[in-house]
Chain A
C-alpha cells in the first residue's frame, strides 16, 4: 500500500531535550500504525529528505517531531501547521548551505522542503521547547513528563490530520528575521537567525 502519511523525527543526538525527536523515534516505531503510515528519522539532511519525499508521491501528510530552540519555557508543547512562505533567496541559499554541510535543523528542513516544493498538502509539526542545551542521552524531567502527551499528539495528527487539533498555530517561512544574510558577509558579526511563528503559545 502506498504511504499516505510520513512521521519524521528531527534533531541532534545526545543533546537531552534538543534530541526529543531521536529519543522518541523508537517508541513511535513500536506503535501499531496502519500500513499507510511510515515512521522515519529525518536527520540526514534536508536535501536528502527532499529527494526522499520526491519518491513518495502518494503522501498526503507529513508530521514532524522535534524541539526547535526557542525562548518559550522548557517543555512548552506547540502544534503547528506549516503554511509555507519563503524568506528571501539569499536566506534560502544560506539554509541550503547549511543543509548540504550537515546542520540538523527542523527549520532548515521546512524551508528547504518548501523551496523545492517537496511537501505534501499537509505538514504538521509537534514541537516541544527544549530550554537550554545540555549533553546527555535522556530527556530532562520537565520534557520527559510530557512524553505520553507528545506521542499522543503525533499519533492523532498522523491519523486524523489537522482536524485533531483545532488550536494549531501557523508556522511560516516568510517571517524570518527582517535582516537578510548578505551573500558576502559584512565586517560585523551576523546574528544567528531565528524563526518566528505567527503567535506564541
Chain B
C-alpha cells in the first residue's frame, strides 16, 4: 500500500503534468488559430501571390447563377494557372451598355493582359473590342459572341446546335404543331448575329411544311419582374401559344410561375434555359418540359485558358465550343 506522502507526491506530479499539458496545448492551439488565417482564403493582401498575368473579366451580372458558375470556373482556372483575374461588373443594370463600354476602356488604359467578355450589345461593343485588340490586348468573348468584331476568340455554346436543340424540343413538346413564344432575355437580345444563328438552327430543325412556328418574341430584361410581366403578356395576347421558350434561368422560373398561375400547365409546354434545383423540380413535376443546360463553369475555365494561350503565343482556335445538354423530365 502507498503511504500518504507518496500519494501526495503522485497527485502533485499529476497536477503539474496536467497543467503543463493544458499550457502547451493552449499555446499550440492559440498559435495555430492565429496562423490559421494564412490558410483561410485571401483575407490579407500579404497572402496574395504575384501572378503571371492580369486579365479582366467583364460580366453583365454576378447575381445570376449562370454567371456565378462561369466566374467560379474562371477563378479555379486562375488559381491553377497562377493568373490574376479581375472581375468587373457594370455598376448597375440600367447602365449595362455604358458600364461595359467604360470597363472596356479602363481595361485598355490599364493595359491588362487580356479581357474576357460576355457581349451584351454587339454593335456598341464592337468598336471597343476592336480598339482593345488593336492596342495589343486580346479579347475573348464568353458564351455571347461578337462575331463581326476583331475579338481574338469565342468560348461558349454552339449557337446553331443550340437552335437545333431548341427546335427539336419544341417539336417534341407539341408534336401536333408548336406555336412558340420566345422570351428573349436582354443578354440575348442585342447579339444580333448570334441570335440569328440560333434562329437559323431552330428553323432548320423544324421539319419543312410542319405547323411549327414562332408566334411571338418578347424581350425581357435582367431581373425578375420583367420576365413575369412578359410571360403574362404572352398568355393574354397570344392565347394560341402552346410552347414558351425562355433564354435565361430567371425567365424560366418566372414563366413557370405565371403558367401555373394561369393553370395552363397542361396546355403550355415550357422549355427552359439553365439548370438549378428549382428547374430540376419543374422537370420532375412536369411543369417544365425540358431545358437547355449549358456548362458555364467550363466556359469560364476554357475562356481563361484561351486568354493565357493568346498571351503565350500559342494557337487558340477562334471558336471553342462547349457542349450543351438537353434535359427533359424523362432524361433527367
Chains A and B bind each other = no
Binding site for A on B (CB under 8 A): none
